[in-house]
Structure 1
């Protein structure tokens, strides 16, 4: 058995292109779109489990983005809907440890325009493919508040394996957080990559954009 190898590097601020989504390094130019998505009816509710609440203005969104650009971990991207050209969500690289070949997707805000579309699945897939296939990571993590049932269900759908709960792990917005841990490792990825590619194929969607078959990662 060969010795485990570190990843090539931390992710760089590059564009990742998909069929439905494009991931761009988060920048002030995305602030107006993200504010609009965050403040549409129901949009603010999606901040329930994040470290911050919904931005109250475009200027506040711009400030958050500029502050985020000043650090390398976490490193955020905007999720662009290629059909409209608008930013409809954001996600980040976190707990970036190339020396151990381990990295996390986190800080996820997938806005309501992404619901019931291939955008979220492809946004996750683009991160995973870049981490495993291009940067050589061994481990891809997903973590969330253990009370966040939609996030845990999403992790399971995407093929992450549940690893356990860190009790009293954090205090977020004045509340205690038990953190649920999930991961995908490199040995699992080739079969999962093929399934993602099958599911994301245009052949899997009807004329109204409805999936013909579910993602089968288990």
Structure 2
């Protein structure tokens, strides 16, 4: 088979991974960008801002495909945030807008497979104030840069196969669709067929360049509107 090595029995085998060692787990480092900063979720500093941002939405549709929420009160959200802040897998980060200093959403690194260098981004809980902004794109970029900087080989994105906005976002960010796992999860009393997307370390150099080009201030007009789209990266 083209592109594969052969062992002593003439069987095709995967390419050798030289000098491989398990990667470290993600840490609580603050990840600073031009438009936002990712901070380890701290309920004392972030929960009030986050609940206010979520509560500003006119309805609860943003929670349909998430395993948690919606949260009817500030107290119910704080209880979730207190538990989430103690978790190491998933490890939750608050997205803090650099202009206002307010936390407007969270996302997490989860299913951390250190032995094989695989990790997933999940629990993406972005408020309406964050969605479809340079801040939301940069938040994803900062987490990717952190993961691949730690030496991970594979970065995954999974969602309900019926969640079209999440699927479109994964593709826009440069993830490759790899298939759908049928009846993979039961959540909120419903079946979930899970769509799998991933980016590898081999994809990252091209993806990084596309992000840096898009996030450059020269790509936005005076009203903050993009002048050019984020290039989809495929190798």
TM-score (norm 2): 0.89
Alpha-carbon distance, 1:172 to partner: 0.6
After superposition, the C-alpha distances for 1:156-196 in whole angstroms (9 at most, x for unaligned) are 00000000001000111000000000000001110110110
- CA drift at 1:44: 2.6
Q: Structure 1 segments of 4 or more deviating over 4 A?
A: none
For the pair shown, which has the larger CA radius of gyration, 1 or 2?
2
2:175 aligned with 1:160, yes or no? yes
CA shift for structure 1 position 116: 3.1
1:20 maps onto 2:35 in alignment: yes
Matches within 5 A, 1:43-82: 44-82=60-98
Give CA-to-partner distance per residue, 1:14-52, whole Å, 9 cap, x none. 210010011011111211111111111336321110011
1:115, distance to aligned residue in structure 2 (A)? 2.6
Q: CA separation of 1:7/1:110 partners in 2, compared to 1, >3 Å: closer, same or farther? A: farther
Match of 2:114 among 77, 81, 98: 98
- Report if aligned partners of 1:73, 1:93 keep a CA contact under 8 Å in 2: yes
Structure 1 residues 6 and 144: CA distance shift in structure 2, 3 A? farther
| Paired position in structure 2 for 1:148 | 163
Give the Å deviation of 1:7. Answer: 4.7
Q: What residue number does 1:190 align with?
A: 205
CA distance in 2, matches of 1:147, 1:6: 37
Structure 2 counterpart of 1:127: 143
Rounded to whole Å, the distance in 1 between the matches of 2:82 and 2:200 is 32
Look up the SS of the partner of 1:13 in the other structure: coil
Describe the SS at the equivalent of 1:109: strand
Deviations 1:109-140 (CA, angstroms, capped at 9, x unpaired): 1111113310111011001101112x000000
Q: TM-score, normalised by structure 1?
A: 0.95
CA RMSD of aligned residues (A): 1.3
